[in-house]
Structure 1
Amino acid sequence: MTGAGGVRAGRVRLQVSLNGARTAVDGAAVPMSPRALVESALRSVAAGAAEVLVSPRTPCGRESLSPRVVGPLLRALREGGVAVPLVVCASVGTETDPGARVARVRSWEVLPDRAEVHFAEPGAEALAAALAERGVAVDAVVPGGAGGGPQGALWVAGVAGVARLVVEVGAGDAGDGVGVSAAGGVREVLVYGRDAAAWGALLRGAGAGPHRWVRTGLGDVLLLPDGRPARSNEELVAVALALLAGGASRYWGVT
């Protein structure tokens, strides 16, 4: 496990979710301003993150797909020295109207490398098509467990632009829910969980087969495996890579 900006624990690659749907009430550790997001991204990449997922926000903290919000943030990240792929969340939380989300994507002047599309939300296929037209790779988010898992790829089979399947695993999902096989031309799989499901999903996702990705970051989880509050995205990345390298015995409650 060597080198910054893409450290791998075995063949598993790690994405960091910088902020997600968090707000200021979730604590000072969550980066909100463009400057804080750039600094957090740089430190996370130095710690070993191979990709950066970010939810662009207006000055008042609302998630947004407006080109006046997305463009300046992407420019700041790239001009600040973040050299790994940048991923933007394009969920209902950013714009509730499906048609408006498509219009926003078509108006972007600065493009991310990839964008997350939640296929349980209305208008997902049209949004994926609009992103593909712009040359943005689509990460198709599907639920784990009985609602997704091995069948998750069937949700997106034949949908243009889908380059990776993203499986969200809940705390109560069966372990085989992350055993996703590629279908419809989708070769890569990223597995993640939120809050109580985050650390178990990370370890289970690491065994989900070839072309594996897992995720951590304050956008997903605020606590370390032993229950202590995480101080930064950088710390979460470092702990995740230690766990993937076999260091789970250092942390309580992770097996």
Structure 2
Amino acid sequence: MVQVCVNGARGARDGAVVPLSAGAVAGSAAGAVAAGATDLHVHPKTPCGRDTLSPRVLAATLTAVRARVSVPVGVTTGAWAEPAPADRVRRVRSWTVLPDHASVNWHEPGAEEVAAALLERGVGVEAGIWSGTDGAARFARSPLGPRVLRVLAEVTDTDPATAPGTARDLLSALGPAHGRPVLLHGEDDAAWPVLRLAARLSLATRIGLEDTLHLPDGRRATSNAQLLTEALPLLTTTRHQRP
């Protein structure tokens, strides 16, 4: 599986290439799916470009994206979008249009409650386990672990030289991960080295403007579709290399 993370918490300061409005997100998502993406992760935005869990904004974004693509669409529930855990739970329970899945960062306060609310509504949970946090240990103890859709193993080490080692440490800390599939990905300068590692380990991965604004050769990406077009040949060739 290759997921495209369409925009993330990025905003206007990151350039016009990052889609912010519902229409722009839908257009970018359609281009990525046409290029080969099989799953989407999007961050619905307020008119000023801030991540939000608002049911109105979520509905508009999901409706626009689904009018253009037929692959599963997921959203964030990051604490930066709604800091108070109880408010995040209330937001999830107020959604009128449901995503196919939603990411829950397991190191954030209230992760279990947010994940439970999603599961109660029939929304798949992507358990976000970040390197450099206690997320892996918390997830190992979680009674909800066996019920999540997949684990998002997120390498927050952005040094391309050390990130693959950090990724291996994170995977080791995750252990059997309750038997759930693992999607491994990196950020910024480490996005491409971690993507190659994921391919060598035969793990699902993702790419997109949330994770990196640059192509493997350092040029600025012009779209999510371009990032995916660069990623797919790397995934195909790297899978045949030794891990």
Normalising by structure 1, what TM-score? 0.84
Q: Distance in 2 between matches of 1:160 and 1:167?
A: 16
Aligned 8 A contact 1:116 1:139 in 2: yes
Percent identity reads 45
1:90, 1:52 → 2: CA distance? 15
1:242 to 225, 233, 241: 233
Q: Deviations over 1:115-143 (max 9, x none)?
A: 00001110000000000000001000112
TM-aligned CA deviation for residue 181 of structure 1: 4.4
May I ask how many residue pairs the two structures share in their alignment?
A: 231
Cα distance in 1, alignment partners of residues 48 and 58 from structure 2 = 14
Which secondary structure state, in structure 2, belongs to the residue aligned with residue 219 of structure 1?
coil
Match of 2:63 in 1: 75
Question: Structure 1 residues 93 and 145, CA, compared in 2 at 3 Å: closer, same or farther?
Answer: closer
Aligned partner of 2:204 among 205, 208, 213: 213
CA distances 1:77-113 after superposition (whole Å, capped 9, x unpaired): 112x210000101111211111000000000010000
- What code does the residue aligned with 2:182 have? V
TM-score by length of 2: 0.88
Aligned to 1:7: none
Q: Residue 200 in 1 paired to residue 173 in 2?
A: no
Structure 1 residue 71: deviation in Å? 0.8
Distance 1:229 1:155 in 2: 41
Query: Contact 1:131 / 1:161 at 8 angstroms: preserved in 2?
Result: no
- In structure 2, distance between residues paired with 1:31 and 1:57: 10
Per the TM alignment, residue 242 of structure 1 is displaced from its structure 2 partner at its CA by: 1.4
Contact 2:112 2:144 in 1 (8 A): no
Q: Does 1:128 align with 2:115?
A: yes
Pairing partner for 2:149 from 150, 160, 163: 163
Deviation of the 1:153 alpha carbon: 5.3
Deviation at 1:158, TM superposition (A): 3.9
Match among 203, 216, 224 for residue 225 of structure 1 = 216
Instruction: Give 3-state SS (helix, strand or coil) of 1:100's partner.
Output: helix
- Residue ranges of structure 1 left out of the alignment (5+ in a row): 1-12, 249-255
Contact map agreement 1:63 1:94 (CA 8 A) in 2? yes
Residue from 129, 135, 156 that aligns with 1:142: 129
* Structure 2 CA distance for aligned equivalents of residues 148 and 201 of structure 1: 19
Helix, strand or coil at the partner of 2:9:
coil
Matched, 1:59 2:47: yes
User: Of the candidates 89, 94, 115, which is equivalent to residue 81 of structure 2?
Assistant: 94
Is this contact kept in 2: 1:128–1:160, CA < 8 A?
no
For residue 200 of structure 2, what is the amino acid of its counterpart? G
Tell which deviates more after alignment, 161-170 or 59-68: 161-170
Secondary structure of the residue that 1:87 maps to in structure 2? strand
Q: CA RMSD in A?
A: 2.2
Q: Is the 8 A contact 1:143 1:152 kept in 2?
A: no
**Match of 1:41?**
29
1:246 match: secondary structure:
helix
- What is the letter of the counterpart of residue 176 of structure 1? R
The question of 1:176 aligning with 2:168 is answered yes
Q: Report the CA distance between 1:156 and its aligned residue.
A: 4.0
Aligned residue identity for 2:29: A
Distance 1:207 1:69, change over 3 A: same
**Inter-CA distance 189–59: structure 2 relative to 1 (3 Å threshold):** same
